[in-house]
Amino acid sequence: MNITTAIFDMDGLLIDSEPLWYEAAQECLGKFGMIIGEEQYVETTGLRTKEFLQHWFGVFNIDHAHIPSTEKEITDLVITKVMDGGTMMEGVLEAMELVKQSSLKVGLASSSPLALIKAVLEKTKMEQYFSAICSAEFLPYGKPNPQVFINCAIELGSQPAACICFEDSFNGMIAAKAAR
């Protein structure tokens, strides 16, 4: 099958937000006495904030009742950090122009909440490149589940096997591979 579609992840691929997520997590989780080292943190990169918190609250035996408020706090803090100082990854605009010239359909599939996706696209002025934008925010499962990539392909009118995915996290690569 010929490749007709390019689907991009966002965090760590289009915008250098992974350090901002880490900073926000450290600030918010510090209130519970939690400290997560960078090597440990990488294990959960690419997960939705809810799953990230479920994992780490389980590890540190923190009451899961705090997850909804902490999830909102982290997301709001990341949006602020992105808007204040987020930067595009090197070569992104060149890559997007190349894909645009190739006449591939282009989508964005992220585990991030839609509010953050919109903030990143506003900050980077990249809305013009994407014909479909999909978030795993309200799906039953986030990455490494493939549904966000499958939904993006469907929204673009493409078969999953006709898509190439650009992803930077281990969990995201599992999702892209599982989506075929």
The answer to whether 11 is a known catalytic residue is yes
Q: Is 37 left (phi over 0), alpha (psi -120 to 50) or beta?
A: beta
Compute the residue count for the chain. Answer: 180
| Rounded CA separation 104/173 (Å) | 20
The set of residues, in sequence order, having a beta carbon less than 8 Å from that of 87 and lying 6+ positions away, is 15, 16
Question: Which residue out of 11, 16, 84, 168 is catalytically annotated?
Answer: 11
Closest alpha carbon to 151 in 176, 172, 127, 134: 134
Neighbours of 10 (CB within 10 A): 25
| H or E stretch covering 164 | strand 163-166
Question: Which residue out of 9, 16, 63, 76 is catalytically annotated?
Answer: 9
95: amino acid identity, one letter? A
**Annotated catalytic sites, by residue?**
9, 11
